[in-house]
């Protein structure tokens, strides 16, 4: 008969318990926090680190020197709502019908009103995935994934929300009349607690992000700082306007708004350092789509096109990723990457398995950035909005239009898309048309669609840039 030693059993039990706790703590300590900073409608060339001589962005320029800078970072759409849907889910948003901006005034095939249009509820977000891995999650600023309560950020994986549900709003306090007319633009804290800002909104969003990081400094967090800067309305702090006396009109206002955002980002990064979290926090800065040069006078040089079209100026954006001691500072990454890549990258870094998630279209970027993988993250990327579309295969890019012949460019040799090669390579045009068509067969029908007058404006914008390109090439 075996004699039971109660003392030994207790020692063994508590030893296993301590080992489990220590192991869990070690895993938590290895999970990097994530600070994801997204600006809105910024021009590709409107930052010092992107070559601007007009705008001063010293803090983002400093971040660029500490980061990997991406030479070819792409959004999944040329407008705000669909672009963010692709970012949040890691899937081409057309797969679940989020093809157009969701705003009041658009028509829905299912009869839904603007307030009922949003990110389909069966789609999980990056906040959902990270929350499952023990992360605290917070969103500060613009949501634009549905105005109705069922689409609210705190019903989509975020623990904390201070921002607004719609696609744009004032940078200052809205009047009672404005709040009544457009309730989806009100500044909201949590769910249903509305309180208008008492300071410039760019500054307030930075304050809230800092408070969230401070509250969660002992656990891994995902802080999504979703600026409405530099989206319209064009509203700048007067003291910042004075810093750009050589500029006028909207261009001066845009410079001042960009300046305010740069200062706000500096405060957030300084807080991260003061909290001792900067070494184990991944910092991402990027922008949601190309700058709308006609509405905020942004500059996408050297790219052609702008927000709402599939030229490079509509879908290629600045992007920086900083991760000390893991990614090489002050380096560049040359190959195309996509907003699709954030979900798999963050899930894997949080200790999850992105390969086990059904339907993701992105990849974990870290092995590519460290040199472990030397191939391209993506051989082929697609874009679509109604009957307009684009496909990039290797260095070749095809643009499909409803009212004119397709255009073909070699992006490696012609990033400004000035030399249309479609007539020289008809077989390639045909093959890439087929690629785009085959991809479209995998997509859902759009859940809603632009009214015709909005579509007409988008096509006029495309015509304008076609004329600009023709004059540049002469």
Of all helices (H) and strands (E), which one includes residue 188?
strand 188-189
Catalytic-role residue among 12, 16, 22, 80: 80
At 331 the three-state DSSP class reads strand
What distance in Å separates the CA atoms of residue 178 and residue 317, rounded to the nearest whole number?
A: 32
In the annotation, is 80 catalytic? Answer: yes
Q: From residue 168, how far is each of 86, 226, 248, 389, 442 by CA, in Å?
A: 19, 11, 23, 26, 32
Per DSSP, 118 falls in state B
The partner residues of 319 in beta bridges, in order of sequence, read 286
At 384 the three-state DSSP class reads strand
- Quickly list DSSP for 28-64: HHHSPEEEEEEESS--TT-SGGGT-SSS--HHHHHHH
At 114 the three-state DSSP class reads helix
Per DSSP, 160 falls in state E
Catalytic-role residue among 12, 16, 144, 152: 144
- Give the closest residue to 103 by CA, choosing from 147, 163, 41: 147
Six-digit token string for 152 = 């609210």
Catalytic residues: 80, 144
């Amino acid at each position: 008969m075996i004699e039971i030693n109660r003392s030994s059993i207790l020692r063994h039990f508590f030893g296993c318990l301590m080992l489990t706790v220590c192991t869990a703590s070690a895993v938590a300590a290895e999970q990097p926090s994530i600070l994801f900073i997204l600006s809105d409608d910024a021009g590709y060339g409107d930052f010092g680190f992107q070559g601007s001589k007009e705008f001063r962005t010293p803090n983002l320029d400093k971040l660029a020197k500490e980061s990997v800078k991406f030479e070819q970072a792409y959004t999944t759409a040329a407008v705000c709502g669909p672009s963010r849907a692709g970012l949040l889910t890691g899937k081409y948003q057309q797969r679940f019908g989020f093809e157009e901006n969701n705003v009041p005034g658009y028509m829905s095939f299912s009869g839904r009103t603007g307030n009922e249009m949003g990110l389909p509820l069966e789609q999980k977000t990056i906040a959902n995935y990270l929350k499952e891995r023990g992360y605290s999650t917070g969103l500060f600023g613009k949501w634009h994934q549905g105005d109705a309560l069922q689409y609210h950020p705190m019903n989509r994986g975020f623990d904390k929300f201070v921002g607004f549900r719609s696609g744009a709003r004032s940078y200052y306090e809205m009047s009672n009349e404005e709040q009544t007319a457009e309730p989806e633009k009100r500044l909201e804290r949590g769910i249903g607690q509305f309180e208008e800002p008492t300071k410039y909104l760019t500054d307030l969003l930075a304050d809230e992000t800092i408070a969230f990081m401070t509250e969660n400094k002992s656990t891994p967090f995902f802080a999504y700082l979703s600026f409405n800067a530099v989206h319209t309305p064009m509203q700048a702090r007067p003291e910042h306007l004075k810093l750009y006396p050589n500029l006028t009109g909207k261009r001066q206002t845009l410079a001042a708004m960009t300046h305010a955002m740069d200062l706000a980002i500096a405060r957030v990064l300084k807080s991260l350092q003061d909290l001792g979290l900067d070494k184990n926090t991944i910092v991402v800065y990027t922008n949601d789509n190309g700058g709308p040069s006609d509405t905020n006078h942004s500059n996408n040089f050297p790219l052609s096109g702008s927000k709402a079209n599939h030229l490079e100026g509509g879908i290629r954006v600045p992007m920086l990723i900083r991760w000390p001691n893991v990614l090489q500072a002050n380096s560049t990454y040359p190959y195309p990457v996509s907003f699709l890549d954030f979900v798999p990258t963050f899930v894997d870094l949080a200790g999850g398995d992105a390969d086990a998630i059904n339907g993701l279209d992105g990849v974990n970027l870290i092995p590519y950035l460290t040199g472990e993988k030397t191939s391209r993250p993506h051989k082929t990327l697609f874009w679509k909005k109604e009957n307009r579309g684009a496909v990039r295969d290797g260095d070749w890019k095809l643009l499909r239009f409803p009212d004119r012949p397709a255009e073909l460019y070699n992006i490696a040799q012609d990033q400004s898309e000035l030399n249309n090669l479609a007539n020289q390579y008809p077989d390639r045009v045909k093959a890439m048309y087929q690629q785009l068509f085959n991809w479209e067969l995998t997509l859902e029908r759009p859940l809603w669609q632009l009214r015709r007058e909005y579509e007409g404006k988008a096509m006029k914008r495309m015509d304008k840039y076609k004329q600009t390109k023709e004059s540049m090439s002469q």
